[in-house]
Amino acid sequence: MSERTKLGLGIAGAAAIIGLLGDGLLRATPWGLNVFLFALALVGLAASLAAWRGVGLRGEGRLLVAPLLLFAALFAWRDSDTLAVVNGLSLLVALSLVVSRSRSGTLVAGLSDYLYWGLQAALYACAGPVPLLARDVSLRELRLGGYGTVLGVLRGLAIAAPLLLLFGALFAAADAVFEDLVVGLFDFDLPDLLGHLFLISLFAWVSSGLLRLALVGESCPRPGVRPSSGSGSWSSGLSWPA
């Protein structure tokens, strides 16, 4: 399995963890210290992935990790709506610069460059795991690596689920004890469950895009910037071992 696919799978797994943490830490308001814990987990997972796959973080953007964590910690300083807005905006700016300039590049630039990096981070956050699945994770390598068995099990479960529901409904109609068991099993607050699933998916979606930009993603071409010679494509600044 290639290094790119391994890192892509690592990013997907980290995004799933961040989704769960986001729902657990940021679902309730006011946020307070939870924002710092969430930001610390995001930075820690990104650093762990970089160390695991040997991604060099040599850009000056990594220097903004400390201010990013400081802005996140300030949410616990005082319960003020104005302070929360200022901290939130500062946190977003620092985050966009960290993910855009962590692998290479300098932070000394003009206003248009900062606007461009912010837009780039926003686009990757909106795209989520789509570039990751389309360009980094090879389904062929997953099948060759043994993940085809997992996919087969998932397909089997998808086929068996309708039959399970059908026979479960028949048994519930014929047996009162079984009916009570089924009702207790599915006795949950559906709107609350959907809310949890939405937040988990949202945080996982956004974080997968940002992690890809920070660790894998190619920079979008600037207006007037020419592609790298000989390749016909835009340079990513990241080379993969053979």
Percent of the chain with pLDDT over 70: 67
pLDDT of residue 237: 39
- Cα–Cα distance between 162 and 202 in angstroms, integer? 28
- Cα–Cα distance between 238 and 236 in angstroms, integer? 5
Assess whether pLDDT exceeds 60 at residue 11.
yes
- Cα–Cα distance between 2 and 242 in angstroms, integer? 8
User: Among 28, 102, 40, which Cα is nearest to 73's?
Assistant: 40
Give the helix/strand (H/E) hosting 157.
helix 148-174
Q: What is the pLDDT of residues 85-143, one digit of tens each?
A: 888 999 999 999 998 888 877 888 788 888 988 999 999 999 988 888 887 777 676 65
Q: From the CB of residue 130, how many other CB atoms can be counted at a distance below 10 Å?
A: 14
Look up residue 2 and give its two tokens.
């290639």
- What's the pTM? 0.71
- Cα–Cα distance between 26 and 226 in angstroms, integer? 42
